[in-house]
Amino acid sequence: MPADLRTKLGHVDLPNPILTASGCAGAGRELSRFTDVAKLGAVVTKSIMLAPRAGRPTPRMAETPSGMLNSIGLQGPGIDAFLQRDLPWLLTRGARAVVSIAGSSAGEYAELARRLSDAPGVTAIEVNISCPNVEDRGTVFACDPAAAASVIEEVRANTRYDIPVFAKLSPDVTDIVAIARSCVAAGADGLSLINTLLGMAIDTATMRPVLAGLTGGLSGPAIRPIAVRCIWQVKQALPDVPIIGMGGVRTGRDAFELILAGAAMVSVGTVIFHDPGACDRILRELGDELARSGLERLTDAIGLAQQSADAVRLGARPRMGSRD
Amino acid sequence: MTAADDAAELAPAQVAGPVLSVRQVDAYHAMAVVAPRIARGFRPGQFVAVAVGGPDTSMLLRRAFSIHDVRADHGGTVEFVFAARGPGTRWLADRRPRDVIDITGPLGRPFPLPRDCVSCLLIGGGYGSAPLFPLAGKLRARGCPVDFLLGAASADRVFGSLTARRTGRSATITTEDGSLGVRGMVTDALARVIHESRTDVIYACGPMPMLRAVTGFADRYEIPVFASVEESMACGIGVCMTCVLPVTGDDGVTRMVRSCVDGPVFRGQAVRWDDVGTIPFDALGAPGWRPPEPADPPQAQPDAQDGRRHAG
Ligand SMILES: Cc1cc2nc3c(=O)[nH]c(=O)nc-3n(C[C@H](O)[C@H](O)[C@H](O)COP(=O)(O)OP(=O)(O)OC[C@H]3O[C@@H](n4cnc5c(N)ncnc54)[C@H](O)[C@@H]3O)c2cc1C
Ligand SMILES: Cc1cc2nc3c(=O)[nH]c(=O)nc-3n(C[C@H](O)[C@H](O)[C@H](O)COP(=O)(O)O)c2cc1C
Ligand code: FES
């Protein structure tokens, strides 16, 4: 019997846990030529801002071992064009839309949340807080518990009550659990982890940085172990908070790994560039993985590795954070 | 240029296709792959994106190559031509017939075809000439005379000089080292070729500096250029935004547009060649850019108001 893949995005039921990762599937239209977007758990859109944005100069990417660096700089059409063109398209296709938002001040996030709450058909909001705060010398919201909380508070307060708000965390912090706690205390219904890690590449032939923006976000299978660790730590600290896991998922096995660590849903990002049909394939493979493991329901697998680990330790507190 | 061509756009496909042949052609490799769904929808100027390194590869990004030829045998094959430079293209060069490769296509917008019978000049730099040959076929079928101007650093890097000589009304070759044809760059021969062939429209594919120079030159003669650009691409299908360049639209607004889905063929005159690799300050959404405000009602001057009142 095929496994039951249904899962919950906050209080919203999803037919399956496979989502696209923000920035890796546009607003779904281009990808729909390779994947039936209505069959996915949801499409998570490219982070949208208030105004149109041109992004960073090119070159914007560098291939790295089992990964890539990107410095797109949140290029996008702005919320007006998104609401006029992109969101309706997703809805007519029967896709569930998780809208990712980004801003440079808490007020901008609040305004975006208001605009989305007025629009019909938004399944959830994912708040990309890996953005510099222009009101605080450009420090990244996601790197400071108080700044992260201020954004989430604003978004939650301005979002319709029935739209879940997920805070997307950066792994580039010393204590991701502290940020997670502070976002949940501020009203986040769930957490998305992880965003890219800051990296850099230098072209040894030209002896200059490869990216015009100098630094970029590292993604792809190279970062998967970091995603597993972050999800594990946060799930352990906040067992009741739903997690969208992401970072280097390439196969159904990889998705299963993130679920066992504690994710209730899994976003597929960079691997879409390699295989535009990846989401369909990973969903199929995940079903096979579950069937093989003897689990009847996906929900039974969420965080299962934590329970087994605890059982082995006979209640001993795992020493998280140590590298030995 | 016919609108019907654009409307006929077919959805691209992802195909696991067996390699039919890999040939060494001077400095390049030509690889033919059985991919009926790609061959069927193909129009000249479109490209394929090929996954390299096998199923567990650490090279995540596909490599983009212009489609050089499609044939009907084996249900439909596509051929592309590439230089083995980095690890991905070297891996590709080692494939043998019957190896299966994962290939997506046909991607991007094709070269627009003229409605009327006009004199066409096809300019290629290095492997950039590869997509020009299927274009030449279409143009000739419409009765357009086709002239070729091909250039490269050396003779072994000029792709297709024999075919150009055999099938073009004229074919001019330039090499920087003088090992074939005229010594110099394509732009050095451009003025003469344009005059002799009474060129009405230029199609060009090659390195960005060449495209920029060709467009600048053609501008002086008011000859339209359709240029196929080469920007680094991570996805090739329009979802990642890595492949952008500044292009001015018919509305006069410059936007950072994706070369994989809005290109790779652009009207040369619309591309802001000097600003490629930058975000021009006046591009839509550039830092400091503001949405155009609805025009403020002109501030009424007090004395003018007085005047009106008196007049009223
Ligand atoms: C629309 C288009 C059509 C092209 N047509 C051809 C063709 O017909 N024949 C041909 O030989 N080459 C063509 N190229 C360039 C070709 O894609 C690169 O040479 C190739 O990707 C290099 O891969 P590599 O493994 O050798 O290099 P690596 O250096 O290992 O590549 C690393 C990464 O950078 C990207 N990259 C490196 N060089 C280029 C480049 N010049 N352009 C775009 N991306 C690059 C690769 O895709 C890869 O993601 C085309 C590029 C584009 C965008
Ligand atoms: C090209 C690119 C663009 C991205 N854009 C965004 C974005 O706009 N907003 C966001 O929250 N994350 C963005 N991300 C991060 C991904 O959503 C994801 O968190 C990260 O890449 C890890 O997953 P992956 O390894 O499966 O790609 C982007 C990633 C890539 C590679
Ligand atoms: S290469 Fe990804 S959008 Fe063009």
Is the Cβ pair A273, B62 closer than 8 Å? yes
The alpha carbon of A183 and the centre of ligand 2 are apart by a number of angstroms equal to: 20
Give the closest ligand to the alpha carbon of residue B234: 3
A28 to chain B: nearest residue by CA? B239
CATH architecture under which domain B111-229 falls: 3-Layer(aba) Sandwich (3.40)
DSSP letters for B16-55: EEEEEEEEEETTEEEEEEE-HHHHHH--TT-EEEE--S-T
R_g of chain A computed on alpha carbons: 19
How far apart CA A102 and CA A130 sit, in angstroms, is 8
Confidence of residue B300 (pLDDT cuts 50, 70, 90): very low
B19 with B97: CB under 8 angstroms?
yes
pTM of the prediction? 0.92
Contact call for residues A7 and A41 (beta carbons, < 8 A): yes
pLDDT, residue B294, reads 55
| Residues of chain A contacting B259 with CB distance shorter than 8 Å | none
CB atoms within 10 A of CB A211: 23
The mean pLDDT value for B238-260 works out to: 96
**pLDDT at residue B195 greater than cutoff 70:** yes
Q: Indicate if A24 belongs to the active site.
A: no
Handedness of CA A219, A220, A226, A231 (dihedral sign): positive
Confidence (pLDDT) at B7: 36
Closest-CA residue, ligand 3 atom 3, reads B238
Which residue in B42, B208, B190, B64 sits closest to B122, CA to CA? B190
Bigger pLDDT: B297 vs B133: B133
> What pLDDT score was predicted for residue A2?
77
Pick from A91-105, A228-242, B212-226, B288-302: least confident:
B288-302
CA quadruple B83, B84, B85, B86: dihedral, nearest 10: 130
Angle, alpha carbons A302-A306-A310 (nearest 5°): 145
Strands annotated E in A32-160: 43-44, 61-64, 67-70, 97-101, 122-128, 132-133, 139-140
User: Checking DSSP bridges between strand A132-133 and strand A139-140, what pairing results, if any?
Assistant: antiparallel
pLDDT-derived band at B1, boundaries 50, 70, 90: very low
Name the token pair of A145. Answer: 């518990």
pLDDT per residue rounded down to tens, chain A (324 residues): 678 999 999 889 999 999 999 999 999 999 999 999 999 999 999 999 999 999 999 999 999 999 999 999 999 999 999 999 999 999 999 999 999 999 999 999 999 999 999 999 999 999 999 988 777 777 899 999 999 999 999 999 999 999 999 999 999 999 999 999 999 999 999 999 999 999 999 999 999 999 999 999 999 999 999 999 999 999 999 999 999 999 999 999 999 999 999 999 999 999 999 999 999 999 999 999 999 999 999 999 999 998 877 666 555 554 555 555
Q: How far apart are CA A27 and CA A43, in angstroms?
A: 8
Smallest Cα distance from A178 to chain B, Å:
31
- Tell which atom from ligand 2 comes closest to the C-alpha of A46: 8
Residue B5 has pLDDT above 70, yes or no: no
B77 and B70 in contact (C-beta within 8 Å)? Answer: yes
Contacts with A46 from chain B: Cβ below 8 Å: 241
Q: Which helix (H) or strand (E) holds B171?
A: strand B170-175
Average pLDDT, chain B: 90
Rounded Cα–Cα distance for residues B110 and B74 (Å): 24
Query: Using the 8-state DSSP alphabet, how is residue B62 labeled?
Result: P
Q: Tell me which residues of chain B, numbers 57 to 116, contact chain A at a CB-CB cutoff of 8 Å.
A: 58-62, 102, 104
Task: Return the percentage of chain B with pLDDT > 90, whole number.
Answer: 86
Question: Which pLDDT value is given to residue B309?
Answer: 35
Residue A317 confidence (pLDDT): 52
- Domain edges within chain B: 12-107, 111-229, 231-289
Query: Is residue A70 within 8 angstroms of chain B, CB to CB?
Result: yes
Work out the average pLDDT over B49-78: 95
Which residues, listed in sequence order, are joined to residue A219 by a DSSP beta bridge? Answer: A68
What is the radius of gyration, based on Cα positions, of chain B? 23
d(CA B31, CA B65): 11
Half-sphere exposure of A147 (CA within 13 A, CB side): 21
Residue range B152-163: mean pLDDT, rounded = 94
Q: Which of A18, A20, A22, A244 to mutate to test the pocket of ligand 2 (most atoms within 8 A of CB)?
A: A22
Measured between beta carbons, which residues in chain B are less than 8 angstroms from residue A58?
231-232, 242-245, 276-277
| β pairing state of B225-228 and B265-267 | antiparallel
| Residue A205 neighbours by CB under 8 Å, 6+ apart | none
Q: What is the sign, positive or negative, of the torsion defined by CA atoms of B102, B106, B109, B112?
A: positive
Identify the pLDDT of residue A138.
Answer: 78
Q: Which helix (H) or strand (E) holds A237?
A: helix A224-237
Give domain B12-107's CATH architecture: Beta Barrel (2.40)
Other CB atoms within 10 A of residue B250 CB: 7
For residue A30, the distance in angstroms to the closest alpha carbon of chain B comes to 6
Is cis: bond before B106, omega within 30 of 0?
yes
State the count of interchain CB pairs (< 8 A) between A and B: 117
**Cβ of A199 below 6 Å from ligand 2:** no
Sign of CA dihedral B122, B128, B130, B135: negative
Q: Is A7-313 a CATH 3.20.20.70 domain?
A: yes
B242 ligand 3 Cβ < 6 A:
yes
The stretch B245-249 carries a mean pLDDT of 96
User: Residue holding tokens 């995603």?
Assistant: A227
CA B298 – CA B296 distance, rounded (Å): 6
Q: How far is B166 from chain A (nearest CA, A)?
A: 39
B292: pLDDT confidence band, cut at 50, 70 and 90?
A: low
From the CA of B257, how far away is ligand 3's center (Å)? 10
Residue located via tokens 């959404």: B285
Other Cβ atoms closer than 10 A to A35: 24
Under the banding of pLDDT at 50, 70 and 90, the label for residue B36 is: very high
CA nearest ligand 2 atom 19, residue:
A195
B interface mutation test: which of A274, A275, A280 has the most B CBs within 10 A?
Answer: A274
Query: Nearest CA to B110 among B135, B79, B142?
Result: B135
In the set A24, A131, A183, A230, the catalytic residue is A131
